[in-house]
């Protein structure tokens, strides 16, 4: 590793550790690895992928939202072990890393696994994984919220009456996981609901598979359900939340589910306004549209 890269990684990790300590366990959903003036999204994505695979992470897939956004998905032994610890812990398996162009700047960011493991009610710490990611690609700052405590995340919902982690979309039910996956495979190949597969990972030790999916209007999805519509509506700040994507479908035994959008979107955008421009209200048609698209591809 060139000295400049090593120094940048060491400084980034130190700043990340100090920020976490200073905020007394107040967590934010995203980590900004670094920014870069100019550059090409695809070239930077290849560089990021090489660094992470060189650090022992397994590449699962990638999703190009548009010419300015590319999301890479990885996992690791530690993440898969954490994903197998409880009935619905599989959602923690993916590390999502985005390269996003904002004006003339490239932003490289990833999901804060410590934030999400509390929201997914996983007891196993993931600070070691976060240290490896920071050493590989950096950790300049966390962002995406004013900060939530682990206790707040464990029972998180955006507002009274809205869904929590334990209130997913129930998409379909089959006698076995094999039957469920066979139905999903057929429907994904057919492009049902405008949904296509980005990655797939079996959870070791559990009868569960997590499938990351893209929801595309240009593939037949309702506009309100589409990834482009949702992200261009609310992801407009200085620091972009591109690692909201891709959405996940969980097959656990014969049960097929997905996190409810009113929970999942709020968890990634906890400080988003309810009303006004670029608000949740402008996405009011999206939660049922997402459910419809995912249920169609699940065969429910």
How crowded is residue 54: how many other Cβ atoms within 10 Å of its Cβ? 10
pLDDT of 251 strictly over 90: yes
Q: What is the pLDDT of residues 128-154, one digit of tens each?
A: 999 999 999 999 999 999 999 999 999
> What was the pLDDT predicted at 12?
52
> What was the pLDDT predicted at 10?
53
Give CA angle at 33 (75, 247), nearest 5°.
45
Say whether pTM exceeds 0.95. Answer: no
Task: Please tell me if the domain spanning 3-154 has the same topology as the one spanning 169-298.
Answer: yes
Residue 24 pLDDT grade (very low, low, confident, very high; cuts 50, 70, 90)? low
CB 115 within 8 A of CB 125: no
How far from the centroid of its chain's Cα atoms is residue 87's Cα?
19
CB 292 within 8 A of CB 285: no
The CATH architecture one would assign to domain 169-298 is 2-Layer Sandwich (3.30)
Token pair of 55 as six digits: 């650090």
Q: Which residue has the higher pLDDT, 5 or 34?
A: 34
> What are the sequence ranges of the domains in the chain?
3-154, 169-298
pLDDT of 41 strictly over 90: yes
Across-strand partners of 70?
64, 99
Token pair of 25 as six digits: 């366990």
Give the CB-side neighbour count of residue 85, counting CA atoms within 13 A.
Answer: 19
- The CATH number of the structural domain formed by 3-154 is 3.30.310.70
- The answer for residues whose C-beta is within 8 angstroms of residue 244's C-beta and 6 or more apart is 231, 235, 264, 265, 268, 269
pLDDT of 22 strictly over 80: no
């Amino acid at each position: 590793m060139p000295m400049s890269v090593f120094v940048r990684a060491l400084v980034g990790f130190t700043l990340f550790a100090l920020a976490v300590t200073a905020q007394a366990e107040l967590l934010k959903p995203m980590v900004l690895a670094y920014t870069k003036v100019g550059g090409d999204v695809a070239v930077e994505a290849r560089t990021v992928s090489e660094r992470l695979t060189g650090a022992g992470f397994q590449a699962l897939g990638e999703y190009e939202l548009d010419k300015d956004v590319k999301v890479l998905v990885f996992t690791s032994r530690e993440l898969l072990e954490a994903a197998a610890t409880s009935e619905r812990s599989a959602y923690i398996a993916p590390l999502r890393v985005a390269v996003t162009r904002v004006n003339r700047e490239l932003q490289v960011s990833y999901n804060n696994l410590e934030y999400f493991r509390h929201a997914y009610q996983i007891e196993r710490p993931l600070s070691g994984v976060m240290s490896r990611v920071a050493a590989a690609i950096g950790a300049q700052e966390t962002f995406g919220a004013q900060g939530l405590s682990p206790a707040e995340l464990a029972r998180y919902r955006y507002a009274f009456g809205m869904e929590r982690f334990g209130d997913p979309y129930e998409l379909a039910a089959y006698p076995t996981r094999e039957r469920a996956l066979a139905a999903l495979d057929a429907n994904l190949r057919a492009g049902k609901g405008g949904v296509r597969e980005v990655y797939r990972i079996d959870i070791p030790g559990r009868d569960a598979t997590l499938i990351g999916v893209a929801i595309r209007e240009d593939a037949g999805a309702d506009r309100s359900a589409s990834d482009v519509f949702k992200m261009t509506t609310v992801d407009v700040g200085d620091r972009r939340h591109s690692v909201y994507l891709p959405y996940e479908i969980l097959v656990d035994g014969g049960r097929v589910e997905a996190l409810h959008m009113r929970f999942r979107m709020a968890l990634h955008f906890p400080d988003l306004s309810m009303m006004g421009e670029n608000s949740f209200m402008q996405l009011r048609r999206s939660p049922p549209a997402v459910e419809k698209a995912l249920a169609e591809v699940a065969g429910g």
